Amino acid sequence: MENIFVYSSENFYGLIAYNFKTIIPPTYEEILPAFTHHFWGCKNEKWKLHNFENIEINNKQFEEVETFQNGYACVSKNGKTFGFVDRNGNFKIPAHYLKGQHLGNCLFAVGKDIQGKLKYGIIDLKEELILPYLFDEIPTFTDVALLLLKRRKPLREWLRL
């Protein structure tokens, strides 16, 4: 949200341009950037995706949201299980993971409870497991690529990346 700023008035938040022109009046409990010309707005402790005309993208609401990364955002409807939505707010990976992050190139780090500990594995858009749940923290795309190089994966696995 370049040249757009979140501002508050009487404990509510809105968006204002660098020239002080109000884009979105302060009617939200919280605002987070989503992607270009879109934002997450929170009212009554529920998040919805909006454009800069303050129009809801769809009527879906979430308890937790993250900023979009490469076209996907990690979200939760109940605050316990997480999945990934596209820029239309539609789930592309169902919400049955413990947190996660889109790493790029259709690879997602997703969390799972493994013997009482949160571990992260790597899946693709079809939810096929690329790397098992062996990471203690969300790895970067570079970490994943280096691990695959160390393991000298066959060409067919690299083509999946």
Mean of all residue pLDDT scores within the chain: 91
Tell me which DSSP letter residue 26 carries: E
Three-state SS annotation for 93-135: EEEEECCEEEEECCEEEEEEEECCEEEEEEEECCCCEEEEEEE
The per-residue pLDDT for range 7-26, each reduced to its tens digit, is: 999 999 999 998 989 999 99
Residue 153 has pLDDT above 60, yes or no: no
Compute the half-sphere exposure of residue 99: CA atoms within 13 Å on the CB side of its CA: 9
Q: Can you read off the two tokens belonging to residue 36?
A: 């270009």
pLDDT digits (tens, 9 = 90+) for 96-123: 999 999 998 889 999 999 999 999 999 9
Residue 88 has pLDDT above 90, yes or no: yes
Q: What is the pLDDT of residues 61-79, one digit of tens each?
A: 999 999 999 899 999 999 9
Structure confidence at residue 159 (pLDDT): 58
* pLDDT of 155 above 60: no
pTM: 0.85
